[in-house]
Amino acid sequence: MGQLLSGTPKNDDNGSLVSSFTEYFKNYKPENKIISEETISSVELHLKRRNNQEAISVINDALKNIDIAPINVAVTGQCGAGKSSLINALRGVKDEEKGAADTRVTETTMKIMPYEHPKIKNLTLWELPSFRTLTLPPKCYLEKVEFKKYDFFFIVSSVKPTTQEVDLAKEIRIMKKNYYIVRTKVDRDLDHEKKNKPRTFNRENTMEKIRSSYLRAFRDIGEPRIFLISNHNWSDYEFPILMESLIQDLSAEKPHNFIFRLSNVSEADIERKYNYAKQLIWLEAMKDGFCSTVPVVDILRNSDVEKLKTSLNHYRDLFGVDDESLEFMAKEAQVPVEQLKKKLKSPYLLETDKEETLGGKLLKYVKEFASANGGLLATGLYLRKSFYLHFYFLDTVTEDAKVLLGEASSKN
């Protein structure tokens, strides 16, 4: 497919590499960066010393850790509080779907139930037995459920704060773990209040009363993070805020892992996924660019095209615009899946007609993307065409995800 776009400055001076690397990552807030500040500083130092291979090694280690780092989130609380429904929402599955957590109310579950994310294996949500089922003191309860392996706790409540919940929160804090109080079924409380006090009912006041009751109950151990949600409508109330807070509060090594597991509840969720995915592509491109001191002939071979197909499908999967997700959404909306697909671009990116080759079409995408972004993305780097295509695919899939979000919102 010929040489890369002309006009690229030579990168035989590592100063341009350092500048490119620094300029890119300084645009992200610390909590939104996919690699730690320590990793960024280490790469910069190696580049300044012209130790390019060491810089590549640091990036390789960071990418490896990103890929394998597990996340374990525990969901505990009283029986019937909505633990299973919350787990299904966090996993992005409907209660009736295959593999969903059982939402039937039961006091008989003594086991710790793990639920892996249906698409990405690194996240596991653990449904813990209710306090009443095990009838153990909080400290013993935590030992029984192997609390040390969890990165985060959800304490799920649906009626009013209990002594057991407060005691459990104390033990979690002693062990330096983080937790949220998730108050479910607030829609039920609001409906009840509105029915009993139609003249004086005020939604915000009622929710504030619920929140205040938990703040009073937990005042001796600090001010907990409290989220008021509905088990039936995850886009309403404070579920989107809960998701945003959880991403920020997870350890610096793991927020990017969690963001890819979230459902697209809002455009902010989609944008956050987009920024994390873009950083991953950028790291791969930077690593490749470290070794490129002269322009290279960049030809897309058949094996490259197959990898690009795999990458496009991966992005569609991450953003919930894959064929399986589209079929499920079409079924929910009771419309033909093709009608839904016609509103999107990503399912057709690699389709060609008789007069056009796939290679030619991909070259058009490269030129289109480079033109829209002012030429090359990094001063001093020779990016291969495949990286432009990754960015182009990601942009397209992100826009498709926003279209689907709009479609889903219009049906509610």
The pLDDT, as a whole number, for residue 363 is 76
Checking if the pLDDT of 8 tops 50, the result is no
Give the residue with greater pLDDT, 15 vs 141: 141
Q: How sure is the predictor about 343, in pLDDT bands with cuts at 50, 70 and 90?
A: very high
Neighbour-count burial of 223, counting CB atoms closer than 10 A to its CB (0-12 exposed, 13-18 middle, 19+ buried): exposed
CA 329 vs CA 233, 287, 337, 348: distances in Å: 16, 38, 8, 18
Helix (H, G, I), strand (E, B) or coil at 49: coil
Structural domain boundaries in the chain: 14-67+265-411, 70-252
Q: How sure is the predictor about 378, in pLDDT bands with cuts at 50, 70 and 90?
A: very low
The pLDDT, as a whole number, for residue 77 is 86
The pLDDT, as a whole number, for residue 51 is 86
The whole-angstrom separation of Cα 184 and Cα 189 is: 10
Q: How sure is the predictor about 375, in pLDDT bands with cuts at 50, 70 and 90?
A: low
Average pLDDT, the chain: 78
- pLDDT mean over 165-192: 87
The pLDDT, as a whole number, for residue 20 is 74
The pLDDT, as a whole number, for residue 380 is 44
Give the residue with greater pLDDT, 373 vs 404: 404
The pLDDT, as a whole number, for residue 401 is 93
The model's pLDDT over 199-240, given as tens digits with 9 standing for 90+, comes to 888 888 999 999 999 999 998 888 889 999 987 777 788 988
Checking if the pLDDT of 241 tops 80, the result is yes
- pLDDT mean over 138-154: 81
Checking if the pLDDT of 183 tops 90, the result is yes
Checking if the pLDDT of 10 tops 70, the result is no
* 8 A C-beta contact, residue 305 and residue 393: no
The pLDDT, as a whole number, for residue 182 is 94
Give CATH superfamily name and number for 70-252: P-loop containing nucleotide triphosphate hydrolases (3.40.50.300)
Q: How sure is the predictor about 355, in pLDDT bands with cuts at 50, 70 and 90?
A: confident
The pLDDT, as a whole number, for residue 96 is 74
